[in-house]
A and B are shown apart, each in its own frame.
Chain A
Amino acid sequence: MPYWLRVLAFSMELPGVLNVAHGEFIMLGAMATYSLYIAFGINPLISLSICGPILFVIGFLIHRVLFGRLRRLATSIEMFEGNSILVTFGLLFLIQSVALLVWGPDLRGYSFLDSSVDLLGAKFAANRLVALLSAALIASSLYFFLVHTRIGKAIRGAAQDTTGAQVVGINIHWMYRLCFALGAALAGLAGGLMSMMFPVSPVMGFPYTIIAIIVVTLGGLGDIMGSLVGGLVLGMIASIMMYVEPSLSMLVYYLLFMFVLLVKPKGILRK
């Protein structure tokens, strides 16, 4: 559920950038939501509307400062891509270190809608349902934005055909920047939702980055629908593995990941 959202966020950040610091945006959203709840008693769902925009701005600034400059300096696409990965790696440590200084390394958590709810005969935690609904809401808003607004269409155009888009007058770099910022915001929202259900700490981010990379590769780098499918596939595999042989879970994810890269690098969906 927020799983999808996280992956969605990552694929939004993708154009040109493999954001290794993705998990840290999730972490920031989670820690901020936690702090707002503990310090001011703000309902996590309301925190979402605070964290989202803040992370949007942060993402936007980061993209402008870091990647704008990298793009100007790079002499080739490979160099840009390579340096971007490394820069986001540095970003990962930067954000994590600052978070550690602010919050300390302890695990934190809070209780919000923890009781279990009967739904169609099966039991779910209330907060999970709320998270699911919120995630669905956010995802559909995004869909609406991409499909029915001018900027959304411009983004999709840029993604599909960069040259064509530029011909029509769309500023590609602005689009990329917007995408990245949106991705950061979505990651923050996902983190906020997750803080309701899981304990959080400044070092929680990295595993999520790995999963996101794997899912997005499964779905085809840059293909948003593909990422959703990839997320589903990985989720199914995760459940199967947990029942059969949990210790092999990570290995299987990586093998699947490598397999897809070799056989169908454009993702499972593409022909």
Chain B
Amino acid sequence: MNIVGSSPKRSFAVLFFLILILILLVIMPHHVAPYYTWIVTSIFMYTALTVSWATFSGPTGYISLASAGFVGAGMYVTVVLGGKLPLPLIIMFGGLTSLLLAVLVGLSSLRLKGIFFAVFTLGLSEALKYLVSWGEFHIGGSWGTFVIPLDYITCFYIMLIIMIMTLLTSYVIRRSKFGLGLRSIGQEEEAANHVGINTNATKIITFAITSFWMGAVGATMATQLTYINSDIAFDVLYSFTPVLMALVGGIGQIYGWVLGSVLLTIVAELLTTQFPYFYSLIFAVLIISTLLFFPTGLIGIVTKWQKGNLVN
């Protein structure tokens, strides 16, 4: 499914929009209150997580709930290496740690499908949390660490870069033979195997590459939290939120994922500040209504509406 049509005019228009948005984003931190910069940084973060997650889980249908594990791993890399190495290196190590973790997860779970895979990845993420918690206390001697904070503007730009890289990675994967392989796996894995696609390699490589960025996000986020413990780093919400965002946006397309994460982050922020005592309730209703009434997400709604118009 092409994101852009084949006409060069269309591609040009899209590119123009993208560059415009980019310029606006780049100059933003110097013109708005820090809180808004922070919100946009959050948007970048969740977009990166959602796109990373959906690049693998979307086409294949393998719902991974291990995202929290990858983010947490990245965070702890910062905890351990913070101040000892230059930041870009730390972020890279964060990503690499996640990648290795993903390879392990992928290799061990090759035989699992569907709900088993989902539950396994969730269990793994939680197990990692308890392992790190135990290790931190029993081996490290203390529990919870202060992290050297990074100024929020630098963090903004780093997160922007990570998000762009994630989008690029996703786009490249989808357009490549890997993308084709992933979609075939999603539709009929047995057949894909028979046709000669190395499903195992495809799955593991994609899973690993996308989780690299999750680790990078974690490593960067850690600098903003000032204090990290295993509950914070491996928060299970980091696993469920990308799934939700991709669903709300529309699970088929990249721009659906982006839309979902942007929208939900903003909505969440508004709810938290306007209705602090009812936040959970409203969010729950939102989740349920989306799943019941808009399972194809916002993009799905628009597509249907458009199709409806075409028919008329």
Direct contact of A and B (CB under 8 A): yes
Binary interface encoding of chain B residues 99-137 relative to chain A, with 1 for a CB under 8 A from any of its CBs, else 0: 000000000110110111011100110110011001001
User: Of B108, B109, B115, B291, which is within 8 A of A87 by CB?
Assistant: B291
Is there an interface contact between A83 and B126, defined as CB atoms closer than 8 Å? no
Given A78-B61, A86-B243: A217 and B114 interface contact (C-beta under 8 Å): no
Minimum CB–CB distance from A237 to chain B (whole Å) comes to 14
Interface pair B280/A87, CB less than 8 Å apart: no
**B292–A217 touching, CB < 8 Å:** no
Which of B167-175, B199-207, B282-290 lines the interface with chain A?
B282-290
Known: A93-B280, A247-B138. A83 touches B291 (CB 8 A): yes
| With contact pairs A247-B134, A254-B127 given, residues A262 and B118 touching in the complex (Cβ less than 8 Å) | no
Which residues from chain B contact A83 at a C-beta distance below 8 Å? 247, 291, 295
A89 touching B240, Cβ below 8 Å: yes
A77 touches B278 (CB 8 A): no
Which of A69, A90, A251, A255 is the one whose CB lies under 8 Å from B287?
A90
Using CB atoms, name the residue of chain B closest to A77: B114
Please encode chain A, from 78 to 92, with 1 for each CB lying within 8 Å of some chain B CB and 0 for all others. 110111011101111
Q: Chain A at the B interface: mostly helix, strand, loop or mixed?
A: helix
Task: Tell yes or no: A37 within 8 A of B by CB.
Answer: no
Q: Which chain B positions have C-beta within 8 A of A247?
A: 134, 137-138
Which 5 A/B pairs are nearest by Cβ-Cβ distance? A90-B287, A93-B284, A254-B127, A97-B281, A94-B284
Interface residues of B (CB under 8 A from A): 61, 63, 108-109, 111-112, 114-116, 118-120, 123-124, 126-127, 130-131, 134, 137-138, 240, 243-244, 247, 278, 280-281, 283-288, 291-292, 295
- List 17 other contacts, CB 8 Å, given A70-B292, A85-B118, A90-B285: A18-B119, A69-B292, A74-B295, A79-B295, A86-B287, A94-B284, A97-B281, A210-B126, A213-B119, A221-B115, A254-B126, A261-B112, A261-B119, A262-B108, A262-B109, A262-B112, A265-B111
